[in-house]
Amino acid sequence: MNTPVIGVLALQGDVREHLIALAAADAVARPVRRPEELAEVDGLVIPGGESTTISKLAALFGMLEPLRERVRAGMPVYGTCAGLIMLADKILDPRSGQETIGGIEMIVRRNAFGRQNESFEATVDVLGVGPVEGVFIRAPWVESVGAETEVLAEHGGHIVAVRQGNALATSFHPELTGDHRMHALFVDMVRAAG
């Protein structure tokens, strides 16, 4: 594959920052809102924001099933924060009616780091990448993972980065730091899948 085309799910959340980070990591990046747009990308980033809102809008825009299908078919996907929640097979504390795309065998806890610690930065050692500065904003953590899920990083004894096949997810926001190594890792995954 030459330059991979990577979409950023643009229903809600910090879309622009991901578009910039992907472009810096040598991908062609574009927003994706509709099934026709999803069909044209080689990989997809699901940004942070509010997972309940993203879930609602994905259903409203007729995107939930197309997203599930493409993830099931092996399209590389990277979820950050609320995006990680969207990739979980199970949410421990969902709002009523809250749906996910799924794809990673894991159970996640929303807003897990608690009120005292709603937003913070921490250095996180990511397997295969090294130490990165993680920005956590009302972040989830991963309570437990299945046999096929690889844990890439922990913070304070909690899982904050995982990978299963072509699906990557982090509790933190790498798009806010100007360090594009997590996006570069994902662009490599998209290239390898093509």
Ligand X SMILES: NC(=O)CC[C@H](N)C(=O)O
Annotated binding-site residues for L-glutamine read: 49-51, 110, 137-138
Q: What is the DSSP string of 23-35?
A: HHTT-EEEEE-SH
State the nearest-atom distance from the C-beta of 149 to ligand X, in Å. 20
Which of 54, 6, 40 is CA-nearest to residue 175? 6
Compare residues 50 and 154 and give the one whose CB is closer to ligand X: 50
65 is catalytic: no
State the DSSP code for 112.
T
Site residues, ligand X (CB under 6 A): 48-51, 81-82, 85, 110-111, 137-138
Annotated binding-site residues read: 49-51, 110, 137-138
81 is catalytic: yes
180 is catalytic: no
d(CA 97, CA 101): 13
Compare residues 114 and 157 and give the one whose CB is closer to ligand X: 114
Q: Which helix (H) or strand (E) holds 108?
A: strand 104-109
- Annotated active-site positions, please? 81, 173, 175
